[in-house]
Structure 1
Amino acid sequence: MSGGGGETAHPPVTRVRRPNDLVQLLTTAAGLGVIVLLTLQTPDAVATLDRTVPTVVRDPLRALFSLASVVSSLATLAVLLTVAVDAARHRRAALAQALVAGVLGLGLGAVAERIGDAAGGVVADVLTGPRTDAALVPVVATIAFLVGADLQRRRRWRQPSRWAVLAGLACGVALGNLTLQGTVAAVLLGGVAGLAVRLVAGVSSARPSDDVIRTELARAGVVVDALEVAEQHAGLVRLTGADATGPVCITVVDPDGRGLPLVRRAGRMLRFRAAVVGRPSLSQRGDLEREASSAALAAAAGVPVPAVMALLAVGPALVLVERPLTGTPLTEAGERAADALAAAFAALRRLHAVGLAHGALTPDCVLLEPDGTVGFRDLRAAQPAAGELQRELDTVALLVAGAAVVGSDAAVAALRAGGADPVPPRVPALLQPVALPSSVRRAVRGTGLLGELRRALTGPDGTVAAAPRLERFSPRVILTVAASTVAAFLLASQLSQVSIVDELRRADPLWLLVALGGSALTYVGAALALIPFVPVALSLGRTTLVQLSTAWLTLVTPPTVGHVGLNIRYLQRAGLTVGAAAASVAVSQVATVAATVLLLLVVGWASGVSTARLSLVPSGDVLLVLLGAVAVVGLLVAIAPVRRLLISRLEPLVRQSLPQLLAAATEPRRLATALGGILLQNAGYVLALAASLRAFDASLALPTVIGVYLVSSAVGSVAPTPGGLGAVEAALLGGLTATGVPVAAALAAVLAFRVVTFWLPAPVGWLAFVHLQRRHAI
């Protein structure tokens, strides 16, 4: 260990396990499994495909292919011998590895042939090939040997081996010694054997030694002393050293880590929109090249960043040499932190002016140099030719990171002092956790910092620009889709004998009209539930049209999101500020939830339907369920992290809604109107569900229908899909069948209920939406 405090760099590890080998092994095994599964599940189709592949049966063409087969076999043997000799001379461990892989391939091929003989039928005829003159075992052994020999860096022999093996396989298929499916299966089986050995034993590292690195650096004019490891993981190592001028940072990227950035960035590109991630590099080598070009752009903008001294190719590795930036991090700047943050915003504006986004701004990344200038520690996540949204996300990240050090008011003042006056209109809306680097997001989690910054940035009227959509799919949506897929498979297995068409044909149209009428009542009830909590006078007709307009928005947004957003916009147009409008909608939502929960408990007590179990049980059991629910809630509240999360989520809502709730409670007329609206809204939905059941000759006791609807509504309200799509249907169907409704009638009733309450109101809601827009009501 040197005095620098880091780990002394030693010659690189001689054997490494490449992540890309694991990915290839899993992919190859999955492909082999698919072929075997298709052969077992669809033998007729596989046999038909095998018959469509022509074989050569007549001379002189067959004689020509036989000669080509002999030549390709000799070429394959020559390639195998050459690879073995080359490995023995230069890579003895690779030779042992290849021999082990070849032996394993022989064993797997022999076992596969025996399994094919035992299975018989299409498995023996297609996968393992004819028993006379079969070539399965040698093919598997050859592929396993070549894959185990690891020819990635032996390009001299890689291409000849591929062509020789490909020619031999083509001749085997043409002569009928191998089937097409059997050939693919043999190649995959050999690949599995070779990759498994490579993964277990490891492969020779492509990373150059320290002596080689120092020699190449000396040729480039950078003479460094002993190197120390600062950071190391698959395919990348960061070394530190010093030359005559000062410290030097050296980043070495080799092919051993190939595949890791692709997996990470592919996941990020799938989750976030292209405007957020830009065009990220999918390899570590590309990252290093982009970091070097970003440093050049930053230097052109006059922003201090680590200076690039050299970018060298050392064998298969790429080496980036930088002069690190020295200075005091923002977190240690003390009284100078506010001025340093303002200078950082000015520097960031210069980066953005040349089209460069930093991409990972944290407090430790901002450095105050001895001469008073401010720069950035590294540009590993920098994005040249960045779009407007990426630049705004940079501003948000630096604002939040700075606020964590100097406070929200000082951070906003620094933002404006740094040249962002006026503040970009979308910055307040982008103050959300998903827009922040992971370290900053963890630092502000559980605090009210984002809310403080948002309030400090909004104008006098509290207006905030609409937030651009950042994510394609949130983890919540992915989990919901996965759960819905599982539920769909389970449901399909139960409905395989049900004729839905026959059920729909015998529907009673009069009851369907009643269901439609119940759906219409829900919008009047929603309007009545909102009006009493608004401090200005609202028209019942226009407010009802606004609620009807939300039916259109639920096609493209989760059920609560579109409803709340449109109501806030409506109240703003009616003369309320954003804060007052949000508070009015929040208190309406709180009252609705409270009344609905109370109604569910009353119905559960009366009918035996509880939120935990949709079945008729004695009232004593309901009491036990309620007591159990109270106990679970009490245990959750007793857990400190859960308690803090609940307080952070509920406290702002209670603070906003409590004054108006108390005001409504002191005015019986307003309170009665609100409760009447909530009951009317729920009654409309219950009427629609009961009428839908009656339309298909099914019925339940009224308390049971109410309980089933309320539980399904609760499920739909937390589902992230538009209008609770999928979640509501599954909850309704499960509740109805659990309470005794036949599956066919329950499915038809659920479809009818969702048509009259979700699908049919949507086009009418669009007309109402357009009408209200023309009248400037929303």
Structure 2
Amino acid sequence: MRVDGRDITVSGSLLQPLTRRTNDIVRVVLSALFLVVVIASSLTTRSEWVALERSISELVAVLTPTQANLVYLGYGIAIVALPFVILVSLVVARQWKLLAAYAAAALIAGLALSISGFELTAPRWHFDITRRLDTFATQFVDDPRWIAMLAAVLTVSGPWLPGRWRRWWWTLLLAFFPIHLLISAIIPARSLLGLAVGWFVGALVVLVVGTPALEVPLDSAVRAMARRGCLISALTVVRPAGAGPLVISAQCEGQGSTAVMELYGPHQRGGGVLLQLWRKIRFRDRETPPLHASMRRLVEHRALMGVAIGQLKRANTDNVSVAALNRGWTLYAHSPARGTPLTDCADNLPVGRVWEALRDLHDCQISHGDLRADQITVADDTVLFGGFDHAEFGATDAQLRSDIAQLLVTTTDLYDAPSAVRAAIAAFGKDTVLDASRRLTPAAVPKRLRNTVGDAKAVISAARDEVMRQTRVEEIETETVTRFTRSQIIQLVLLAALVYVAYPFLSSVPTFVTELRTANWWWALVGLLTSSLTYLGAAAALWACADGLVTLWGLVVMQVANKFAATTTPAGVGGLALSARYLQKGGVSPMRATTAVALQQSVQVVTHISLLIFFSAAAGVSANLSRFVPDAELIYLAAGVLFGLIGTFLLVPRLRRWLATAVRPRLQEMIGHLVALTREPKRLAIIVLGCAATTLGNAFALWAAIEAFGGDTSFITVTVVTMVGGTLASAAPTPGGIGAVEAALIGGLAAFGMAAAVAVPAVLLYRVLTTWLPVLIGWQVMRWMTRTRKI
């Protein structure tokens, strides 16, 4: 390469790899929105589109049929030749990978508009051309499939084409709108659909394949380095551009020194604008730095942080140059990193030196933000830092605590947990380290750091346990660093599903309120009292399972709070966790508490199934239960899915090991507890009666609600319907089985001949007495138990 009369040797490949940039993602989003708008407007205002196009074409159509055919012929030749010109240019440029993307985009766009129903249709000329426009070109260009294919191949090949070519070819393609209007062809709307489909398909293919980085302005970078006194004589590519910058080693002429040049292209720096926005949305404000409006501002921030840390003599590089280059590139040049990486000298360097270096940064309110081992070097027994991509001056307390947590993970991995925690406490104090250790979680420790540690989960756990041991605390509360967690997202999805499922029942609320005026409130009171027996039964069963280690009255109160916890979480998992927590607070060991809760649930399932079989047999004597039996096809389908799952678990080694190591031991333990329970008749009787009281209490409450509205049915029938509803409640993903339980109970009562005018208000009253009213009371009880540290 020759720059300003000097020959510069360039070694290494400057060929930029394919990358997926912010522009590619934005292009897909915009094209998808455009396609949605076109389809929605076509479906909702189709007649208006046709009328508008016809009126416009009648006003501007000035060409005779012969002139129109000539225009179509010329435009048709140009538009047909366009894709072949692009194809030839790609072959000449030897863009072999792009050829596959080019063909795929054309094929997908053409097929997308050839699907009719569930089959592919051949091209059909869709115009009545009995009087005019009867050339082959008119029929070919009018087809939206051809327009879609052209839009797709132009979008795919656009990043590789010169800007002038790209503008002229898009102008040629979009010219079909005025041409169609001038010759009175009523199809711009249909062609617009082809354009939208082609643009979306092309944008999607570009996102999958990737786009090339821009041409590297090496001559501009060489001149910028010369202005800083470094006359470059040779350049060596250290790392090509990709997710990060293009890294080049530069030999300075006459100085015998080298410099590291990092060149950032537009949308090329790892992260980019979308990553900044995502971090702002996901993490709390105190966890994220201010947004940078451009790539140049990001690079300048990194260079300025290098200056600030260099003044403390803790930086392993010196800045050489920061400059804006041609074509949107930015240069950041610095000296090579001084010292030996910490990973190579950890055996000879005391871990306390590393923590003292971090303390120097924190004393000046500077956070590093990226304390991986490869960003720390040692020169003459002095610990130095590099990187500075995530460093902040005037850092928040949260960012400083994040530094301590990151260095705990790094030093625990390089040294050991006791020495790392001991050095951290010596440098920052016990309270500061304890506060920072709340961030020793996978969510708070950056992924880039976890990827450099062998077993990140074990290292984080070891550091956390050692902090607990040296600070003598029993538990470290996890700090929340994100605005939302995975469980909150799941709950949001479940809430949306809940609204969707429960919406049909909202229409029954006015009828329910009207029917309440005629209800017998004495029966409602009876239902409320009998539903309270379920709390006593569940408490007695759990008390017996826990060998009476906690008071029965305390368990009854806990069951009221349990109603809130179980109802507001899917499948009642919150209730199980609350029961285990209460037993642990009552002095029961964690293993024993978990076993007691699992034992109660196992007996509850067995008792529930036994009662369901008994009452179903009793109800079958006087009622036809065949309507509850699914169709044979559904039974075969369920059996096939079940056998498929069994075969999958037996054939896949990982699933088979999970069954053998995780499920089988717990299942054997539970069976052992059930067998041991049979040798204690008194304890077994209390557990079974308590579980039965839970099921029968709910059934009696529903029967009382039916009697309150003048219904007439047997207790056996109500018990079968209630147990079916309870089974669905445990299987439904919505909290408390909302929607599924109501539908099952109303449908079950209707199947036994009960009128909807009685079944609907009776079921709603039953749910109020057994679910909603106890949930409100249980919420307050749970808050009281939390304040008094009973849970």
Measured against the shorter chain, the TM-score band is 0.5 to 0.7
Kindly indicate whether the alpha-carbon contact (under 8 Å) linking 1:403 and 1:411 is maintained by their aligned counterparts in 2: yes
Aligned counterpart, 2:260 = 249
Q: Which amino acid aligns with 1:375?
A: L
Instruction: Determine the C-alpha separation between the residues in 1 that align with 2:763 and 2:464.
Output: 41
* Mapping for residues 372-771 of structure 1, pairs under 5 Å: 372-382=381-391, 386-423=395-432, 426-438=435-447, 439-440=449-450, 443-445=455-457, 448-449=461-462, 452-453=465-466, 455-456=468-469, 459=472, 462=474, 464-465=476-477, 467-468=479-480, 470=482, 472-474=484-486, 516-517=528-529, 520-524=532-536, 540=553, 544-545=556-557, 548-549=560-561, 587-601=592-606, 603-604=608-609, 709=726, 712-713=729-730, 725=735, 755-768=768-781
Aligned counterpart, 2:625 = none
- The match for 2:349 among 336, 340, 352 is 336
Give 1:10 shift. 2.8
Aligned counterpart, 2:47 = 47
Matched residue SS, 1:456: helix
Q: Which amino acid aligns with 2:726?
A: Y
User: Where does structure 2 lack aligned partners over 5 or more consecutive residues?
Assistant: 1-9, 63-71, 115-120, 129-137, 615-627, 632-637
Instruction: Determine the C-alpha separation between the residues in 1 that align with 2:52 and 2:188.
Output: 10
Aligned counterpart, 2:214 = 206
Aligned counterpart, 1:188 = 196
Aligned counterpart, 1:314 = 325
Aligned counterpart, 2:635 = none
Structure 1 window deviating more from structure 2 (308-317 vs 508-517): it is 508-517
* Mapping for residues 215-230 of structure 1, pairs under 5 Å: 216-222=224-230, 223=232, 225-230=234-239
Give 1:156 shift. 8.0
Q: Cα deviation per residue 1:731-768 (whole Å; 9 max; x = unaligned)?
A: 89689989996999899998766654543334334444
Kindly indicate whether the alpha-carbon contact (under 8 Å) linking 2:437 and 2:467 is maintained by their aligned counterparts in 1: yes
Identify if the C-alpha distance between structure 1 residues 408 and 643 changes in structure 2 by more than 3 Å, giving closer, same or farther: farther
Instruction: Determine the C-alpha separation between the residues in 2 that align with 1:561 and 1:516.
Output: 25
Instruction: Determine the C-alpha separation between the residues in 2 that align with 1:396 and 1:54.
Output: 69
- The match for 2:371 among 361, 375, 382 is 361
Matched residue SS, 1:445: helix
User: Where does structure 1 lack aligned partners over 5 or more consecutive residues?
Assistant: 1-7, 64-72, 121-129, 572-578, 655-660
Structure 1 window deviating more from structure 2 (664-673 vs 400-409): it is 664-673
* Mapping for residues 273-292 of structure 1, pairs under 5 Å: 273-279=284-290, 287-292=298-303
Matched residue SS, 2:436: coil
Q: Cα deviation per residue 1:179-226 (whole Å; 9 max; x = unaligned)?
A: 785575354255358658978998664141767655543443344744
Matched residue SS, 1:398: helix
Instruction: Determine the C-alpha separation between the residues in 1 that align with 2:760 and 2:309.
Output: 62
Q: Cα deviation per residue 1:694-751 (whole Å; 9 max; x = unaligned)?
A: 99979768589558736744x57xx7xxxx5286755896899899969998999987
Identify if the C-alpha distance between structure 1 residues 730 and 445 changes in structure 2 by more than 3 Å, giving closer, same or farther: farther
Identify if the C-alpha distance between structure 1 residues 670 and 408 changes in structure 2 by more than 3 Å, giving closer, same or farther: farther
Kindly indicate whether the alpha-carbon contact (under 8 Å) linking 2:352 and 2:424 is maintained by their aligned counterparts in 1: no
Matched residue SS, 1:12: coil
Instruction: Determine the C-alpha separation between the residues in 2 that align with 1:556 and 1:279.
Output: 37
Give 1:22 shift. 5.4
Aligned counterpart, 2:15 = 13
Give 1:312 shift. 2.6
Q: Which amino acid aligns with 2:402?
A: L
Aligned counterpart, 1:658 = none
Identify if the C-alpha distance between structure 1 residues 739 and 175 changes in structure 2 by more than 3 Å, giving closer, same or farther: farther
Identify if the C-alpha distance between structure 1 residues 284 and 183 changes in structure 2 by more than 3 Å, giving closer, same or farther: farther
- The match for 2:36 among 19, 34, 48 is 34
Identity over aligned pairs, percent: 18
Identify if the C-alpha distance between structure 1 residues 520 and 412 changes in structure 2 by more than 3 Å, giving closer, same or farther: farther
Q: Which amino acid aligns with 2:46?
A: V
Q: Cα deviation per residue 1:598-653 (whole Å; 9 max; x = unaligned)?
A: 332455477579xxxx9899xxx99xx99x99996999899667877789x99xxx
Give 1:334 shift. 1.6
Kindly indicate whether the alpha-carbon contact (under 8 Å) linking 1:685 and 1:709 is maintained by their aligned counterparts in 2: no
* Mapping for residues 56-135 of structure 1, pairs under 5 Å: 118=126
Matched residue SS, 1:319: strand
Matched residue SS, 1:378: coil
Aligned counterpart, 1:576 = none
* Mapping for residues 294-305 of structure 1, pairs under 5 Å: 294-299=305-310, 303-305=314-316
Q: Cα deviation per residue 1:348-378 (whole Å; 9 max; x = unaligned)?
A: 5246x13x350x33344433x1333323342
Instruction: Determine the C-alpha separation between the residues in 2 that align with 1:262 and 1:726.
Output: 42
Q: Cα deviation per residue 1:139-198 (whole Å; 9 max; x = unaligned)?
A: 879967975774899778989999999999699889987778557535425535865897
Identify if the C-alpha distance between structure 1 residues 234 and 374 changes in structure 2 by more than 3 Å, giving closer, same or farther: closer
Matched residue SS, 1:411: helix
Matched residue SS, 1:375: strand
Q: Does 1:349 align with 2:366?
A: no
Q: How many residues align?
A: 697
Give 1:596 shift. 0.9
Q: Cα deviation per residue 1:383-417 (whole Å; 9 max; x = unaligned)?
A: 56654334323322222332233333322222211
Instruction: Determine the C-alpha separation between the residues in 2 that align with 1:676 and 1:332.
Output: 68
Structure 1 window deviating more from structure 2 (676-685 vs 300-309): it is 676-685
Kindly indicate whether the alpha-carbon contact (under 8 Å) linking 2:566 and 2:575 is maintained by their aligned counterparts in 1: yes
Q: Which amino acid aligns with 2:352?
A: D
Q: Does 1:237 align with 2:246?
A: yes
Q: Which amino acid aligns with 2:600?
A: A
Instruction: Give the structure with higher Rg (CA).
Output: 2
Give 1:17 shift. 6.2
Matched residue SS, 2:387: coil
TM-score where L is the length of structure 2 = 0.63
Identify if the C-alpha distance between structure 1 residues 641 and 559 changes in structure 2 by more than 3 Å, giving closer, same or farther: closer
Kindly indicate whether the alpha-carbon contact (under 8 Å) linking 1:331 and 1:363 is maintained by their aligned counterparts in 2: no
Kindly indicate whether the alpha-carbon contact (under 8 Å) linking 1:568 and 1:581 is maintained by their aligned counterparts in 2: no
Matched residue SS, 2:600: helix
TM-score where L is the length of structure 1 = 0.64
Instruction: Determine the C-alpha separation between the residues in 1 that align with 2:745 and 2:361.
Output: 56
Give 1:318 shift. 2.0
Instruction: Determine the C-alpha separation between the residues in 2 that align with 1:458 and 1:741.
Output: 64
Instruction: Determine the C-alpha separation between the residues in 1 that align with 2:148 and 2:526.
Output: 69
Give 1:466 shift. 6.3
Identify if the C-alpha distance between structure 1 residues 46 and 22 changes in structure 2 by more than 3 Å, giving closer, same or farther: same
Give 1:254 shift. 1.9
CA RMSD of aligned residues (A): 6.7
Give 1:253 shift. 2.2
Aligned counterpart, 2:623 = none
Give 1:333 shift. 0.6
Instruction: Determine the C-alpha separation between the residues in 1 that align with 2:95 and 2:458.
Output: 57
